[in-house]
Every structure is written in structure tokens, then in C-alpha cells.
Structure 1
Amino acid sequence: MKTLLKRYLSNYKGIAKEIWFLSFVTFINRAGAMVIPFLSLYLTDVKSFTLPEVGWIMTSYGFGSLVGNFIGGKLTDIIGYYKTIVLSLFAGGLGFIGIQFLDSFNALCLGVFFLMLAVDTYRPAIFVATDVYSINNNVTRNIGLIRLAINLGFSIGPVIGGILIAKANYASIFWVDGITCILAATSLIVLLKPKKGKKKEEKVTVVKEGVSPYKNPAFLLFFFIMVVNAIAFVQYFSSVPVFYKQHHFLNEDTIGWLLFLNGVMIVFLEMPLIVFLEKLQITKVTATILGIVFLAFSFIILNYSDWFGILIIGMILMTLGEMIGSPFANALALDMAPIGRKGSYMGLYSMSFSISHIIGHNAIMNTIDQFGFKTTWFWLFVALIVVAAITLYLPKMMKSLKTEVK
């Protein structure tokens, strides 16, 4: 047992203390992440909106995320990742507290838009921070540690959220989520002063090299791949919980435990898996493809049985895809970003998730409303397999554009 523990902890050696600080802050933030997984259920059960209306509200979620990532990328290149992260956490905390007081369809569309604008300003900044504090090119492991913090918090959040909803009400989760965001910002100010990362950050932001991400064909293809992948992935936090409740008749508490499985797997398995794949010298492109394929099979398997165990298998497949694909895709995006433009590149990369919220929730909710869950899961599977095949051409395109594949 001690040997296994030592082997597990050895995966974290060589990571800068600043990344540990950022991971701790991220954990505090995500431990309160209980609004997002239950938002679609809150809108249908408490606010009595139809699935198409929920789709439109989630589209507003996507637009807010899109603008937030764009602004976050620009702010990171202008004022630095530190100030951008603090600003995002404070504004997001106030937003989560305030959103519960909105009732009408229009007000919720607008409120969710501004909430996600504040929250997702955080994304490009945290990605750049993992690169700034990289030691011996360990960006992928830095990302892995940040993701571990996210998922450790996220594994706890839905369980607590489900219990709070069952024992109290939905309002409680908005308060907890908002307060933890503000606590995360306060912790960052206490644990990581700007001067600790300033010199390194200036090396990233002062001199701009290369072309804009919007003029890089290889990065734009990568962006398209990530959009399609993210459209499918975000369903596990909108339409899939609805599927759990309406098709399998699960309550919020059980749904919270299913999401807990995702977080627990990532906490204990993702970093060892990253280290194992790095030892195999698997390319970041290959890992990205494997992640997409696992995600694809997590959907198609849901059509084979109404047995509860299928939901667990589907969650395991999705989590494997996330653990393999996400860290390496993030690192690949950073590899493609030239000096001084990393904020803009990671802003566009993060916008792929925003686009997925704009398109994915609305399109999939309406598709389910018209054709049912099984047909929708089948077409998501097909789309992901096609995108995985397209990804095979990415290394060739990168080489032709003299973009280094690491």
C-alpha cells in the first residue's frame, strides 16, 4: 500500500509551488461548483421551463462563455493572468448569488449570459499560468494538477449540491457556489502575490511573435475539432442529467453520485495516466484522438440497455476520454501558441467550449424533443467518430505550416 502511495505521489514531483497554490484556489472554487450540473434540472423542475426554453437559456450561457473567454484572453495578454483570475472569481461569485433572484425567461437569459461572461474570463488566464510556471517542459502535468483540483472540487460539489437540494432547496446551492468563488479569489490574493510570478509573466506577454490564432489554419482546424468534441462533452452537464431523470427516473441525489464517479476517477487516475502516456511517448494529437473516441462510445452505449449499470459504464468511458484527451489537447494548444500570444490562443481554444454551449445545449435539447434520446446519442457518436478521423490530418497540416508538433 505504501509503495502504491509513493508511486502515486511521485507523479507530482517537480511541479512549482505556484501551481500548487493555483490548484488549491481552484479546488476551493470548484468545491462550490454545484449550480452548473443542476442548472438544467433547476430550470425545468423549479422554473417550469420547457426543454426548448432551457436550450435557449443554455445558449445564453454559451454566448456569455464565448465573450468571457475572448475578454479573458485579451485581459491576460494586457494585465496578466493574476489580475484576470482574481477579477473573474469575484465577479462570478456575485453572479451566482444574484442569478437565483431572476424568474422570467428573458431575465434568466440575460443573467446567465453575464454570469458566464464573468466565470469564463478565468479559463485563458489559468492555462497561461500553467505555462508560466512550467519546469522542464512539464506543462501537461501542470494542467493535470489544475484539472485534479477542478475535479476533486467538482466531485464533491454535485454530491453536496444533490444533498442540499434534497434536504433544503435549490436556493442554497446558489449561495454556496457564490461564496466559494469569493473565497477562492481571497485565497489567491493571500497565497500568490503578483510579484511572485511577474517576471516570468512578462517574458510571456511583452514580445509578440507569430501570427494571430485567427490567421493560423492549423489552429483553426484544431479549434473546429475541439468545438465538436465539446458539444458532445457538455451534454453530460445538461441533457444527460435530464436523460437520467426522465428516462431512468433517477433523483438529484443519485445523479450527483454519478457525477461524483467522474470526479473521483480523475482525482485518482488522471495524473498517473498522464505520466504513463508520456513515458510511452504518445503524441498530444494521438491522445486527443483517443479522448474523442472514448467520448463517442460513452454515448452509443447508452442505447443498448435500460440497466442502471450502463449509465456507470457510460460515465467511465466519458471520464477516460476526458482524462486522456483534455490535458493533452490543452498542452497541444499551448505548443501551437507563439510567445506573447498565448493569452489570445488559449482564449480562442477556451472559446471552443463557449461555442459548444451556444450550439450544443439548444440543438441537442431540441433534437431530443423532436427525435428522442436514442437517436440523439447515435448522431453524437457518428459526429465524434468523424471528427476523430479529421484529427488524423492535423499533424500533417501543422508540419506544412512549420508548426512544431511536440
Structure 2
Amino acid sequence: MKMPKLVWLLVIGMAVNVTGASFIWPLNTIYIHNELGKSLSVAGIVLMLNSGASVVGNLIGGQMFDRFGGYLSVMTGIMVALISLVGMVVIHSWPWYPVWLILVGFGSGIVFPSIYAMAGVAWPEGGRRTFNAIYLAQNLGVALGAALGGFMADISFNIIFVANLVLFVVFFLIALFGYREAGQLHKGRKVEEVKKIVDKSRYHALLLICAAYCLCWIGYVQWQTTISSYTQTIGISLQQYSMLWAINGVLILVGQPLIRPVIRLIEDKIKTQIAVGISIFIVSFIVTIYAENFVMFVIGMVILTIGEMFVWPAVPTIANMLAPEGRVGTYQGIVNSTATLGRAIGPVVGGVIVDLYNMQVMFGVMIALLVVSFVFLKVYDRGLAK
């Protein structure tokens, strides 16, 4: 089944966007902690505010998609983020750096659910493949951006800020000229009409699966925050840490043929796919507890990556299946905001635990949260069955 042109453009735009963002997001905690001289707890609060702004952006972006269509919502988010990135290039000292991060989070938050919703509307028959294509584009961006970001950071963080801005301008041009047809694909509906479309069982199922999704992200984000800072204290360089995320992105791309037989075997069992992924997440954290050198962190990252390949594309697929007509953007907005909420809570929870106790306690708490996520996964579709 051939992928539509618009979906290809969405995939390319996502790859460019995430590549630029990946120059900096894996190094945010390091920059705030090491360059700006703030504690891990403060760094966690800054990232929480960044993610909190993204949550608001996700919800607004989803509503905008349902009301006005994908083109206007995407362009609005891009303009907000673009202005913020210009500010970041000009001045990135304290307290301006957190201000720009918050605004970038809000703008990017509007963009992401709109792209997912556009992809779902443009290629509904694609099913999981639609969202897997967007997911692969994101991780291509992670692989390229994280690999290059560490090398640039060793020279100067200023280079990272400029490179991020340049690629976001490229993304702006792709959206400006490539996403216009999305306005014809989805015209949007009046708010009053959309409010009439209510399916409580589907909405409750969405919230339950999103609760499990959020807990997974709280654990996952530790690799970008507390673990990133911890690697610095045991002699792992910025280049090596960035290489972990390059491995993550490359493995997601080259590992698709490896997991495809398993996915085909449980293709109609989205719930099972997520359960397998969460189990692998837990194994990853158990391995990383004992990591004291770069090789062990690589092994932990490889296991983590295999887990996310099962979980991350499955949740937006469920949202697209659950969404009533006229609510696709809203449901994708909730899914994206849930992931962002996990990224917001995670740095604070992890940072405080490490500051008060140690890394081993933090790993134990994250494993416990992943176990709890199984409960939400198990019950999310009971209302649908009834």
C-alpha cells in the first residue's frame, strides 16, 4: 500500500524538526547544571516547565486541528517556536534560557499532535504503519541530532543553538509549501458540533492507556536527565553520552526488520505489543542499575530501545482507532500531552530522588512505576468490551 505524498512530507518535516531539537534536548540538563551552575533539582524544574508548556501546546494544537485543520495549527506552532529559537541564539544565559525553553515547548507542543492527526487523516488505512513512519522519522532525527550535538557541544554550545535554528527554518519552509493540502483534507468543525460527539467508554479507555503511557515516559526520560548527569560523574564524555542516543536512533531504524516478525505475530493485539515493551523497559533499568562503564550503558540503551519500538507507535495508533469523527486532533493532543506530562514530571521526580538519596533508589522507583503501568494497561479496554 503506497504512502500518500502528504504523509511523506510529514515524515520528512518531522525528521528535520527533531534533528534540530536533538542537538540540544539530550544536553539540556548538562547545560543547566554544568554551564549555568544550577542544581539537578533546578534543572528538573526548568525541564518540567518546558514540558508543562508543551502539554498546554499539545491540547491547544489538537483542538486547533479539529476546529481549523492541520495547516493553520502547524504553522501557528512553528511561528511561536521559531521566534523563541531566535531569542535562544541571541541570549542563552540565566534566566533567559528557561524562558526560551518554555516558549519553544509551547510552540512545538502545538505542532506534534497536528502532525500525528494529519497523518492519521491522510492515510487512515495505514493503521500502525502510519504512526510507525512518523515514529521512525523522529528517531532518524534523534540519531542524527544527538550524534552531532555532542561533538558540537565539545566545541561550543553556541553552535548547537544556531544549528537548531537553521534546521527549524528548513522545517518552516517544508510546512509552508508542503502542508497546504492538509487544509482541504480536514476542514474542521464548529465547536458546538464537536461537543455533541461524546463516547464516554472510548474517552475513558484513552485516559487509562494514557496513564500507562505517562508512567513509561517518567521512567524513559531519566535517560535524558538524571542518567545524563550521572554519566558525567563516572567519566563518560559528552560525545559518548550523545552516542548513546545516536545508537538509540540508528537501532530503531535498522532494527525494524528484526522486530517485524514479532509485530506481525501480534499485529492485531496492540495491548500485547505495549505489555511486551513495558517488560523490556523494566529489564533495561535492571541492567542499568549495575552500569559502571560505557559498554554497560550501551547495553542498557539497546534494551530500552527495543522496548520503545513496541510501545511508542502503538499508543497513537490506539488513539486514532478510539477517536470519534471530528475528534482525531483532540485525541492525539491528549496522547502527546500525556507523553509530555511524563517528560515534565520525570526530571523533577528523578532529580529530587537522586539529590536526596542516590541513583540506585531512583532506578528502583522507576521500575515500580513501570510495574504500576501494567495495571492501567490491563483494564483500559474493559469498558469497550462491555
Aligned twin of 2:87? 98
- Contact 1:65 1:120 survives alignment (8 Å): yes
Are positions 1:320 and 2:306 aligned together?
A: yes
* Change beyond 3 A, Cα 1:324–1:84: same
How far has the Cα of 1:110 moved from its partner? 3.2
Partner of residue 260 from structure 1, selected from 243, 246, 260: 246
Q: How does 1:195-234 map to 2 (within 5 A)?
A: 196-202=181-187, 205=189, 208=194, 210-211=197-198, 216-234=203-221
Partner of residue 239 from structure 1, selected from 226, 229, 232: 226
CA RMSD across the alignment: 2.2
How far has the Cα of 1:280 moved from its partner? 4.0
Aligned twin of 1:68? 57
How far has the Cα of 1:385 moved from its partner? 1.6
Are positions 1:284 and 2:270 aligned together?
A: yes
How far has the Cα of 1:65 moved from its partner? 1.0
* Change beyond 3 A, Cα 1:215–1:277: closer
Q: What is the TM-score with the length of structure 1 in the denominator?
A: 0.88
- Contact 1:287 1:324 survives alignment (8 Å): yes
Q: How does 1:118-267 map to 2 (within 5 A)?
A: 118-134=107-123, 137-166=125-154, 168-192=155-179, 194=180, 196-202=181-187, 205=189, 208=194, 210-211=197-198, 216-246=203-233, 248-267=234-253
- Of all paired residues, the percent bearing the same amino acid is 20
Q: Counterpart of 1:87 in 2: which secondary structure?
A: helix
How far has the Cα of 1:395 moved from its partner? 2.5
| C-alpha separation in 2, matches of 1:43 and 1:182 | 25
Runs of 4+ in structure 1 off by over 6 angstroms are: 212-215
- Contact 2:209 2:315 survives alignment (8 Å): no
Aligned twin of 1:354? 340
Q: Counterpart of 1:32 in 2: which secondary structure?
A: helix
Q: Counterpart of 2:156 in 1: which secondary structure?
A: coil
Partner of residue 329 from structure 1, selected from 288, 295, 315: 315
How far has the Cα of 1:275 moved from its partner? 7.0
* Change beyond 3 A, Cα 1:304–1:59: same
| C-alpha separation in 1, matches of 2:274 and 2:224 | 21
Query: Letter of the aligned partner of 2:20 in structure 1?
Result: G
Q: Counterpart of 2:207 in 1: which secondary structure?
A: helix
| C-alpha separation in 2, matches of 1:75 and 1:42 | 34
How far has the Cα of 1:274 moved from its partner? 5.0
- Contact 1:213 1:220 survives alignment (8 Å): no
- Contact 2:29 2:225 survives alignment (8 Å): yes
Higher mean C-alpha deviation, range 324-333 or range 81-90: 81-90
| C-alpha separation in 1, matches of 2:205 and 2:15 | 33
Aligned twin of 2:371? 385
1:211-245 superposed Cα distances (whole Å, 9 cap, x missing partner):
27899322221221111111112222222211221
Q: How does 1:35-50 map to 2 (within 5 A)?
A: 35-50=24-39
Aligned twin of 2:47? 58
Q: What is the TM-score with the length of structure 2 in the denominator?
A: 0.92
Query: Letter of the aligned partner of 1:91 in structure 2?
Result: V
Aligned twin of 1:113? 102
* Change beyond 3 A, Cα 1:23–1:271: farther
* Change beyond 3 A, Cα 1:91–1:160: same
- Contact 2:319 2:331 survives alignment (8 Å): yes
Partner of residue 367 from structure 1, selected from 353, 376, 379: 353
| C-alpha separation in 2, matches of 1:205 and 1:304 | 53
Aligned twin of 1:300? 286
- Contact 1:77 1:205 survives alignment (8 Å): yes
* Change beyond 3 A, Cα 1:217–1:375: same
